């Protein structure tokens, strides 16, 4: 009998992980959510506090900004906050706006000894032809849990 974790055609199978350099790999929002729901990974939102407040966030995600508004300065407490959020050697899936900053955060989390994955497309997805986000991929567009204040 094949389980969802071992079926290569399943979006949550290990084969769904796309190889990456410097961190464990890239996963779809659906795969990340499945892992979190099963207790296999911690979801960390690396967007700025302002982004989470204005745009919305994932219920239960741990906020650990990679960079902060204004000016997008590096979060000097990133390492300590990651250590508090994810057990040593644990698995973490990292979410940002579009899946770019979370790559940098995944590389740093890997250096900290975590099994770190970038969530493809991020929370808002890619910009469309008009420069608007939220219509081309992303956590929200895929119908995964989120809320806005």
pLDDT in tens, 3-22: 344 444 455 554 589 999 99
Whether residue 127 lies inside any domain: the answer is: no
Ramachandran angles phi, psi of 48, nearest 5°? -70, 160
Ramachandran angles phi, psi of 8, nearest 5°? -60, -25
Look at residue 9 in the predicted model and tell me its pLDDT: 43
Whether residue 111 lies inside any domain: the answer is: yes
Look at residue 13 in the predicted model and tell me its pLDDT: 58
Mean of pLDDT values over 83-101: 95
Whether residue 7 lies inside any domain: the answer is: no
Mean of pLDDT values over 97-110: 95
Look at residue 78 in the predicted model and tell me its pLDDT: 98
How many Å apart are CA 56 and CA 90, to the nearest integer? 26
Whether residue 139 lies inside any domain: the answer is: no
Whether residue 1 lies inside any domain: the answer is: no
Which range marks the domain in which residue 111 is found?
Answer: 17-119
Whether residue 131 lies inside any domain: the answer is: no
Q: What percentage of the chain reaches a pLDDT higher than 70?
A: 90
Report field, pTM of the whole predicted structure over 0.85: yes
Structural domains of the chain, count: 1
Whether residue 66 lies inside any domain: the answer is: yes
> What average pLDDT does the structure give for the chain?
89
- Tell me, what CATH number does 87's domain have? 3.40.250.10
What's the alpha-carbon Rg for the chain, to the nearest Å?
15
pLDDT in tens, 21-60: 999 999 999 999 999 999 999 999 999 999 999 999 999 9
Whether residue 109 lies inside any domain: the answer is: yes
Look at residue 82 in the predicted model and tell me its pLDDT: 98
pLDDT in tens, 127-138: 888 777 777 789
- Closest by CA to 23, choosing from 115, 99, 92, is 115
């Amino acid at each position: 009998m094949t389980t969802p974790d071992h079926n290569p055609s399943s979006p949550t199978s290990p084969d769904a992980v796309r190889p990456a350099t410097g961190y464990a790999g890239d996963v779809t929002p659906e795969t990340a959510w499945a892992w979190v729901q099963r207790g296999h990974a911690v979801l960390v939102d690396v967007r700025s506090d302002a982004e989470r407040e204005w745009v919305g966030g994932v219920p239960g995600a741990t906020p650990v900004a990679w960079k902060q508004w204004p000016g997008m300065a590096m979060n000097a407490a990133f390492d300590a906050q990651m250590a508090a959020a994810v057990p040593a050697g644990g698995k973490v899936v990292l979410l940002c706006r579009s899946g770019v900053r979370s790559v940098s955060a995944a590389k740093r989390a890997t250096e900290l000894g975590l099994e770190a994955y970038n969530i493809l497309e991020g929370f808002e997805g890619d910009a469309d032809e008009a420069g608007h986000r939220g219509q081309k991929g992303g956590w929200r567009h895929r119908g995964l849990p989120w809320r806005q204040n």
